[in-house]
Amino acid sequence: MTLHHAYLGTLVADALTMPGHWYYDREALRHDYGVLDSYQAPRNPHPGSILWRSEYHALNERGDILRDQAAFWGQRGIHYHQFLEAGENTVNFRLATELYEQVRSHGGYDPERWARRYIECMLTPGWHRDTYVEEYHRGFFTRYAQGKAVTQCGISDEHIGGLAQIPALLAALPEDADWRGATREHLALTHRHSNVQRAADCLARLLKSINSGTSIRDAIIREAGDWFSSRKAERWATRPDNEIIGSILSPACYIDQAFPAALYLTWKYHDCFDTGIIANAMVGGDNCHRGAVVGSLLAAANGIDHRWIAGLKACRELSITI
């Protein structure tokens, strides 16, 4: 059940952080939501929203992934997830639940089969209610609208959002599956960036190591030495999280900073799922997608209290249990 816990841990961490997603002003985050230690709904205005800077123009119906949400692009103060409910997951983690269900039902992973389900989901009106969709979605559907093959639409995206579905994939695969190969194939559909590929492989190795009984800190030392220094972490651990992730490591979404930041929070809070995901939420930035790492690793090692599952909308809709 450890990898199953890891998958659920990503959903919990995402839903918890969702209202505080992309708050870089941590004082504003506390002002608006207090401490994110329970599920809350997002609300407008989002004081740090830069959605107004983003643009996406579908080339044709094959690329129309915004639909009625397009009206909010270009407006100031719009929360990226303004229509989601407390305990609901953002679009990348909704896709994770779809991936999990597909791989489980078919007994294995097939990249083309998944790509077609991904397209179906994103083009179905009302399937998700997020206002914002990441750059990789926009790049994929621009290429799909141009007529490229479904397995050739990925872009060189270097954001940690690429890791959102890795724990779900590993949890769903049969025990004897080529999990490293499946991880590579899955990432290649959307994130053709070498650093995201390296981080995904590292996360997969960490989850497999913990699943085999290795402690979080030992697993990180063995598998993530090219991303993380335990010696530095020992020195950092006495300082507030907002100093480390803010002054030393960026809270932003780029993988070269976001993955080490997620590993640091996992290392520091290695023995407590609740404390770790709350800490991740409160340092702001791309906390939802860091949650793919923090939530999965801490849940794999420590399990998840039932209270988190009870309030998670995905679990109610899909009858998922611990």
pLDDT tens, position by position, 229-266: 999 999 999 999 999 999 999 999 999 999 999 999 99
Mean pLDDT, rounded, for 93-119: 97
pLDDT of residue 322: 65
Supply 178's token pair: 């080529």
316 falls in which pLDDT band (50, 70, 90)?
A: confident
Indicate the length of the chain as a whole number: 322
Determine if the peptide bond prior to 167 is cis (ω within 30°): no
**DSSP state, residue 68:** G
Three-state secondary-structure class, residue 245 = helix
169 falls in which pLDDT band (50, 70, 90)?
A: very high
Answer yes or no: is pLDDT of 134 > 80.
yes
Half-sphere exposure of 126 (CA within 13 A, CB side): 0
Supply 52's token pair: 């107004």
Three-state secondary-structure class, residue 249 = strand
Which of these, 18, 16, 101, 41, lies nearest to 308 by C-alpha position?
16
- Main-chain dihedrals φ then ψ at residue 83, nearest 5 degrees: -100, 5
Count: domains in the chain: 1
Average predicted confidence (pLDDT) for the chain: 96
Answer yes or no: is pLDDT of 318 > 90.
no
**DSSP state, residue 305:** -
Distance CA 163, CA 196 (A): 8
- Spatial contact of 205 and 223, defined as CB atoms under 8 Å apart: yes
- Spatial contact of 207 and 183, defined as CB atoms under 8 Å apart: no
Answer yes or no: is pLDDT of 124 > 70.
yes
pLDDT of residue 1: 63
Contacts of 211 (CB under 8 A, 6+ apart): 2, 3, 6, 300
Q: At what angle do helices 91-106 and 287-302 cross, to 10 degrees?
A: 50
Distance CA 92, CA 278 (A): 20
Answer yes or no: is pLDDT of 319 > 70.
no
Give the DSSP H/E element, type plus range, for residue 288: helix 287-302
Which of these, 315, 269, 245, lies nearest to 23 by C-alpha position?
245
CB atoms within 10 A of CB 277: 31
Answer yes or no: is pLDDT of 156 > 80.
yes
Supply 11's token pair: 């959903």
Find the farthest-apart pair of alpha carbons in the chain and give their distance in angstroms, rounded. 53
- Spatial contact of 189 and 162, defined as CB atoms under 8 Å apart: no
Q: What is the pLDDT of residues 16-72, one digit of tens each?
A: 999 999 999 999 999 999 999 999 999 999 999 999 999 999 999 999 999 999 999
**DSSP state, residue 85:** P
pTM: 0.97
Distance CA 54, CA 73 (A): 7
125 falls in which pLDDT band (50, 70, 90)?
A: very high
Answer yes or no: is pLDDT of 321 > 80.
no
pLDDT of residue 128: 93
Mean pLDDT, rounded, for 116-122: 98
pLDDT of residue 315: 82
Answer yes or no: is pLDDT of 109 > 70.
yes
Mean pLDDT, rounded, for 141-146: 98
CATH of residue 142's domain is 1.10.4080.10
Answer yes or no: is pLDDT of 317 > 80.
no
Answer yes or no: is pLDDT of 284 > 80.
yes
pLDDT of residue 248: 97
Three-state secondary-structure class, residue 254 = strand
> pLDDT over 70 for what percent of the chain?
98
Give the DSSP H/E element, type plus range, for residue 307: helix 306-310
Q: For residue 119, give its domain range.
A: 2-318
Question: Which parts of 68-188 fold into alpha helices (H)?
Answer: 91-106, 111-123, 135-145, 166-172, 179-188
